Amino acid sequence: MSHTPHRLELQNINIGYGDKIVLRELSFQVPHGSRVAVVGPNGAGKSTLFKALVGLLPLQQGNIFIHGEALGLHQDCVAYVPQREEVDWRFPVTVEDVVMMGRFAQMGWLKRATSRDRDAVQKSLMQMGIADLAEQSIGQLSGGQQQRAFLARAIAQEPHILLMDEPFTGVDVTTQEATLRLLDHLQEKKVTAIVSTHDLNLASSRFDLALLLNHRLIAFGAPREVFTKENLAQAFGNSLLVMENGMMLVDECCPPDEQFTIND
Ligand SMILES: Nc1ncnc2c1ncn2[C@@H]1O[C@H](COP(=O)(O)OP(=O)(O)OP(=O)(O)O)[C@@H](O)[C@H]1O
Ligand SMILES: [Mg+2]
């Protein structure tokens, strides 16, 4: 079978923890440079998928190909911004240290930072508007600032694929806007971005593709084709309220005033 370079491809994978399967028989392909929103209820397996894509969780079945080769060979070009709740913020490192970690794969075996590494770190800090916080300990930052430090680390890594797990949840507007600007910038550089979100409006307005999950793939494609009443009902079940002029998700993570209107 031939593989187009720069494509991310999942073939019939099962992922989970121990004997438990969280995501079953998942197959999809992401073209190079596209922007994918991953949507599904709490516990659907979004974070689990991201962990498998960076090799943090072994596959129970199936294959993942990046650039046409098995995951592992190309781990370096995948950057991952974890969901806020999954990070131990007491870890005693400065913002600059966190961002420098993004350069580790590029450094030689001595792991000594060169001026090119330091420039890349500085540029990423500036791009995320946190250059003045470089010396601060990561644990002392606000949630939005911490998130921006992790985004800066991801940029410093110069990835081909960027995974962001709920970057829009629980952060201030400045950070949300910085994240959206970053996504635009990365798209110009043909970086593939895969982003989980509970915001269906954002997923349909700012993303090329949507992946709807609930322990299995419910739909994958253009957002307007994925976010149909039928598909959303399959994914969210009783948490989906269908009203006259739209739908509302009464999911824990979704603010109750956020209503989503389907296009059909
Ligand atoms: N380390 C773990 N060990 C065992 N089970 C886990 C572990 N992490 C997650 N799970 C389980 O896997 C399932 C999927 O969890 P996951 O965190 O991937 O969901 P999610 O879609 O990211 O949800 P959320 O929207 O709340 O972030 C859940 O049932 C969860 O309890
Ligand atoms: Mg999650």
Ranges in the chain, pLDDT < 50: 1-5
Q: For position 227, what pLDDT does the model report?
A: 92
Pocket test for ligand 1, best of 24, 48, 83, 195 (most atoms within 8 A of CB): 48
Q: Count Cα neighbours of 68 within 13 Å in the Cβ-side half-sphere.
A: 6
pLDDT at 104: 82
Task: Tell me whether residue 13 is exposed, middle or buried, using C-beta atoms within 10 angstroms of its C-beta: 0 to 12, 13 to 18, 19 or more.
Answer: buried
Other C-beta atoms lying within 10 Å of the C-beta of residue 240 = 18
Ligand 1: lining residues by beta carbon, under 6 Å: 17, 22, 40, 42-48, 83, 253
Q: Residue 38 C-alpha to ligand 2 middle, in angstroms? A: 10
State how far the Cα of 146 lies from the Cα of 130, in Å rounded to an integer: 10
- 26-35: per-residue pLDDT in tens? 999 999 999 9
Give 204-215 pLDDT, tens digit per residue. 999 999 999 999
